[in-house]
Structure 1
Amino acid sequence: MDRIQFGRRVAHWRGRRRLSQQEFAALMRRSLRWVEELEGGRRQADPNLSVATEIALRLEITLERLLYDPAVLCPAESEIDAVRAALQRHDVLTGRCDDSSAEPVPVTALQRSLWYARTGFQAGHFAKLGTQIPKLLVDATRAAALHEGDDRLEAYRQLSLALELTEAAAIKWGDSELAVTAGQRAVVAAERSGDPVIMASAARHLADAMTAHGQAAAAVTFVTAAANRLQGDLVQCGPEGLSVLGMLFLKAAMAQAAVAEADEHSPDALARAVPGFLDQADEHAERLGHDDNLLWTSFGPTNCALYRVAAHVQLSEGADAVAVAADISAASLATLPRERRAHLLTDRAIGEKQAGQREDAVDTLLEAEELAPEEVVCRPRTKHLVEDLRLLGVGSAEGRLRGLADRCGLRG
């Protein structure tokens, strides 16, 4: 790494640690001019290992991360196209295996593949899903077509869950049309599985996609119909049933908030229905009794609180969103997957922007980036927030925002 690149990385991590150049100089027992020259790449010689090691120590990162932290790779358009192409395949569309001699993948292998991909998603690794999902969809479709009896039903469960993952990834990629397509297919596969838990799980994903695609009113109608139809069965299905039932009401709340925000005539009246859905989700979380991650829902009291933050943000109630976020304990958050925690931080950052706390919003985004980089630098939603903050101005956080914008691929 040359001295210019090294200097930029030092400046980046100094900004992340909220240290001024003068403060960093004091920690290094050097002059302000030394720091300015170092970060500007104007030192005559590249830093030796002992200096780099001390810098890493003062910035509270490993030397390896200071020197070699790789750039975040966002999904290429070709990878998203590959997922879309997989959904358009004849065998995946019709559920018919094109090659009758093909051996179906064992359902246990499907379960392992899905677990691996879904775990990656919850860790905030969205880019690599573009290469994992197509094979998962093809394998699950063939398994559902060729297996018989209980294995066929399990294959349909795995197919529905794979399509749910496709929907969730498409939302992260900013492709709501692809998300709706995958969500609709997930609902169909879930019905064929005969499992009410999977049916409810698929319904909550489709509602999420419909809301993102500008069909929020239809999403409210659909997801509440699913809850009314399946509730009796779900409460008999133990913790998994309570988890997906609670998620249906959380998705109903978000869809209703989107309906209210888009309405020009009576938004306040429509918004009054949002707390009712959130309260119903809270009731099921209380029955569950703890935070859990059954069927990758992250459902429990803490995730319900996260959705309250998100609903306030959707309704442009930034101060309320920030207040609710502040009441969520660090210990509770620590039980959630990285994706959920980073998503809360990006929601909180939007709330801070809405409340006029724009410097805080930048620091919150940097915190989210450190936790799950792809949630920040790859998502169109977050890039729009960064653009808004640049236009509005962020005072003393301008330098930190500039670095974040660069990492998001935003120029100018």
Structure 2
Amino acid sequence: MPTLDDDHTGARIKEQRRLARLTQRQLADLLPYSYSYLNQVECGARPATAAFVAACAKALTVDVTVLTGQPYVTELQRDRLAELVRPIRESLDLYDLGPNPDLTVRPADQLISGADELCQEVRATHLRNAARKLPSLIAELTHTAWSTPSTELWQALASTYRTAHDISVKLGYYDLSAVSLDRMDWAAQRASDPCLAAVRQYMRALVYFREGEYRIGQRLVASGHTVVGQADDTREALAVAGQLHLGASVISARAENATAVKTHIAEARRIAKRIGDASEVHWLSFGPTNVDLHEMSAAVEMRQYDDALKKAREISTKLPPKLATSRRAHFLIDQARTEMETGHTENALKSLVEVCRMAPEQTRYHPTARETITGLIHLARRTPDTLNHMAAWVGL
């Protein structure tokens, strides 16, 4: 059986536990997980779920990224993606400097359409292209919004900040994502756009979801509902409200509140039935398909893997062709994890191969994909070449 080096999530949990001067038994007593499971994760015999990592991070009072090892700098440098992060960081710091007289800018309509195009790039998982274009677009929009302010320009600037958040999260720079969301709020206030403000609360809730702070996440979702309730009863507002319910469903699943999961899924499904597919609204992918995908994700979070696998098989037969690549990739990563947990290791590897082909940049830097690869390595009596290549590719 192949072995991993000490640079894996379990080893990092062990290191932080020792720094906190806790025994395995003492840490296990602080977790909603068994001592046996902690022991197996630390020695690398079992992959860590995202919920388990979040619970450990909370108990050890460290950021989740300390345990996941994000950002994966070596791979980012090899992919020439790390060098794109600093310009994004610098562009976010221009927000309060006003117009830049030394800057040559494109017409406002081109800047507004450019912000929308970057959202499309991220949904298509073209992270490098989006990251390369983003800093200059933020700079131009910042200048133009200060020079000739309008609702449309502030909305476009808020959209670019949202794209900065999306890229930062996918590459593992969570500190940068927090700055991006602050800037998004700043621009949304100037646009006087309650829907944008509610989307920002939704994204903040997912940050706390990753960190295991579920009560704060739930409060942010409730705040988002309050904010979007100030908007007119439009298709846009309904789609945002529906997506807030979907966010609440996975947060509730992590908190092991099955009743709340059902309530939020039912409410999101009711809205989706009323407005149909609204994937284009703020690029949230909201609609009947996304409700099904979140129902499956909630089952995964609650470790109801048999139920999740059944839902995954139903979903896979009816995924619409126009579903965003990023959303399809997320589904395949969830499916692979579910297949591994239910003993369908060959299918899990096939799902990973498919998602690597479809969305290589997103997959390489996705913690769950990496943990699933780790799990398959330990389950294999003889590691297939495909799995060996995949492990080397993600840096395991």
Q: Same fold (TM over 0.5)?
A: yes
Question: Residue type of the partner of 1:294?
Answer: V
Matched ranges for 1:34-45 at <5 A: none
Report the alpha carbon displacement of residue 297 of structure 1 after superposing the two structures with TM: 1.6
Aligned-pair CA distance for 1:130: 2.4
Residue equivalent to 1:25 = none
Structure possessing the higher relative contact order (Cα contacts under 8 Å, 6 or more residues apart): 2
> Which AA in structure 2 matches 1:242?
L
- Code of the aligned partner of 1:80: V
Counterpart in the other structure of 1:24: none
Q: CA deviation at 1:249?
A: 1.2
Query: Which whole-Å CA distance do the structure 1 matches of 2:317 and 2:168 have between them?
Result: 29
Contact persistence 2:337–2:348 (CA under 8 A): yes
> Please, what TM-score do these two structures have when normalized by structure 1?
0.71
Residue number among 204, 215, 218 corresponding to 1:220 in the alignment:
218
Q: 1:61-72 counterparts in 2 under 5 A?
A: none
- In structure 1, list runs of 5 or more residues that go unmatched: 1-72, 261-267
1:220 positional shift: 1.3
CA offset at residue 214 of structure 1? 4.0
AA aligned opposite 1:123: A
Q: Residues of 2 paired with 1:311 and 1:187: CA distance? A: 28
2:194/2:230 contact within 8 Å kept: no
- Match of 1:292, SS state, is coil
**Of 142, 153, 156, the match for 1:155:** 153
Counterparts of 1:227-238 in structure 2 under 5 Å? 227-231=225-229, 233-234=231-232, 236-237=233-234
Show the counterpart of 2:336: 349
Is 1:275 matched with 2:262? yes
Any conservation in 2 of the 1:204–1:248 contact (CA below 8 Å)?
Answer: yes
Aligned position for 1:189: 187
Equivalent in the alignment of 1:109: 110
Conserved in 1, the CA contact under 8 Å of 2:195 and 2:227? no
Of residues 320, 324, 331, the one that matches 1:337 is: 324
Structure 1 residues 375, 296: closer, same or farther in 2, change over 3 A? same
Alpha-carbon displacement from aligned partner over 1:167-192 (angstroms, at most 9, x marks no partner): 11112112222222212321232122
CA distance in 2, matches of 1:296, 1:75: 27
Greater mean deviation of Cα atoms: 303-312 or 222-231: 222-231
Q: How far, CA to CA, are the matches of 1:327 and 1:304 in structure 2? A: 13
User: Partner of 1:320 in structure 2?
Assistant: 307
Equivalent residue number for residue 39 of structure 1: none
Q: CA deviation at 1:314?
A: 2.0
Contact 1:153 1:192 (8 Å CA) reproduced: yes
Alignment correspondent of 1:303: 290
Residue 104 of structure 1: how far off its partner (Å)? 6.0
Q: Does the CA contact (< 8 Å) of 2:309 and 2:335 recur in 1? A: yes
Query: Using the alignment, how far apart are the partners of 1:75 and 1:354 within structure 2?
Result: 34
Q: Is the 8 A contact 2:172 2:365 kept in 1?
A: no
| Residue in structure 2 matched with residue 80 of structure 1 by the alignment | 85
Task: Write out per-residue CA displacement over residues 192-220 of structure 1, whole angstroms, 9 at most, x where no aligned residue.
Answer: 21122222222222222332344432121
1:367 pairs, out of 354, 357, 366, with: 354
Range with greater deviation from structure 2 (366-375 or 327-336):
327-336
User: Percent same amino acid at aligned positions?
Assistant: 25
Residue 77 of structure 1 deviates from its aligned partner by 1.9
CA distance in 1, matches of 2:267, 2:327: 21
How many angstroms apart in 1 are the aligned matches of 2:189 and 2:305? 39
Which residue does 1:290 correspond to in 2? Answer: 277
* Consecutive unaligned residues in structure 2, runs of 5 or more: 1-77
Q: CA deviation at 1:108?
A: 1.1
